[in-house]
Amino acid sequence: MARSARAFVLRHARLRPVPGLEEVRLYLADEVLPLWHAIQVETGDSDAALPYWAFAWAGGLALCRYLEEHPESVAGRNVFDLASGSGLCAIAAARAGAAAVTGADVDAFAAAAIELNARANGQRVAVVRRDVLDELPPAVDVILAGDCWYEAALAQRVLPWLRAARGRGIDVLVGDPGRRYLPTTELIELACYDVRTTTELEDLEQKQGRVYAMRGLGSPAGRPSSSRVRRLSSRGSCRSARPRPDA
């Protein structure tokens, strides 16, 4: 399946710069429905998952901007990218100098896309293809959680897993444009960015993507437990995406 999944990604997505992050290139698609139909045909599964891996989501874009501005948040550290999708955040962490990066996703096509995208950007990203939410959080320094709050069932599983990670002293960085199930009371906002995304999966082409640190257990109200995260805080108004070089 791994080889056929790679061939499928290469056949149905095109390597192109990411809007607002033109130095990063991903295999992306233009339309979700034709690609989803192609996956259903390829797998023989009418209930196949939507191809989230073929689009750059708002939360992930914000996280990437944050890691670019604050490489010290991951530099020299072991990073785990939850629900990695295209691998965009994992690639950003590797570009920022992470010692080791792992992207995790349950989708075979996402796993293939992560490998292809990492290679296209000259980065090394290990790939885990399984439901890690059924396991204890890994022994890493930082967990990235971009765009994990778009449906109730997933949010209900992600939140206790991330709480467990914080309880073990792992820094958790969350990227999201303010979806309904985002647990804002458990997060501390670090930064906000205007990002360009796609109306194929988002309701607006331009959104405000915010980056948060997850509160540590026993932290005083309004403050993260990690001094590292406190030093990185850059709270403020949303900043616009950088113009394209040819704009």
Cβ-proximal residues to 48 (8 Å cutoff; 6+ apart), any chain? 36, 39, 40
Domain membership of residue 246 (yes or no) is no
Can you give the pLDDT of all 247 residues of the chain as single tens digits? 567 999 999 999 999 999 889 899 999 998 999 999 999 999 999 999 889 999 999 999 999 999 999 999 999 999 999 999 999 999 999 999 999 999 999 999 999 999 999 999 999 999 999 999 999 999 999 999 999 999 999 999 999 999 999 999 999 999 999 999 999 999 999 999 998 766 445 544 557 899 999 997 544 333 344 444 444 444 445 665 443 333 3
Distance in angstroms (rounded) separating the CA atoms of residues 80 and 77: 10
Strand spans (E) along the chain: 14-18, 21-28, 78-82, 100-104, 126-128, 142-146, 171-176, 187-196, 206-214
Q: Considering only CA atoms, which of 193, 206, 244 is closest in space to residue 16?
A: 244
User: Domain of 154: which CATH number?
Assistant: 3.40.50.150
Strand-by-strand arrangement of the 126-128 sheet? 126-128, 100-104, 78-82, 142-146, 171-176, 206-214, 187-196
pLDDT on residue 242: 46
Residue 126's domain spans which residues?
2-232
Cβ-proximal residues to 150 (8 Å cutoff; 6+ apart), any chain? 179, 181
Domain membership of residue 213 (yes or no) is yes
Domain membership of residue 242 (yes or no) is no
Domain membership of residue 238 (yes or no) is no
Token pair in block for residue 22: 């033109």
Residue with tokens 């090394």, as numbered in its chain: 124
Domain membership of residue 19 (yes or no) is yes
Token pair in block for residue 198: 């796609």
pLDDT on residue 120: 98
3-state secondary structure (DSSP) of residue 92:
helix
Domain membership of residue 189 (yes or no) is yes
Domain membership of residue 224 (yes or no) is yes
Q: How many structural domains is the chain composed of?
A: 1
Domain membership of residue 239 (yes or no) is no
Q: Considering only CA atoms, which of 12, 18, 15 is closest in space to residue 244?
A: 18
Distance in angstroms (rounded) separating the CA atoms of residues 26 and 8: 15
Strand spans (E) along 29-71: none
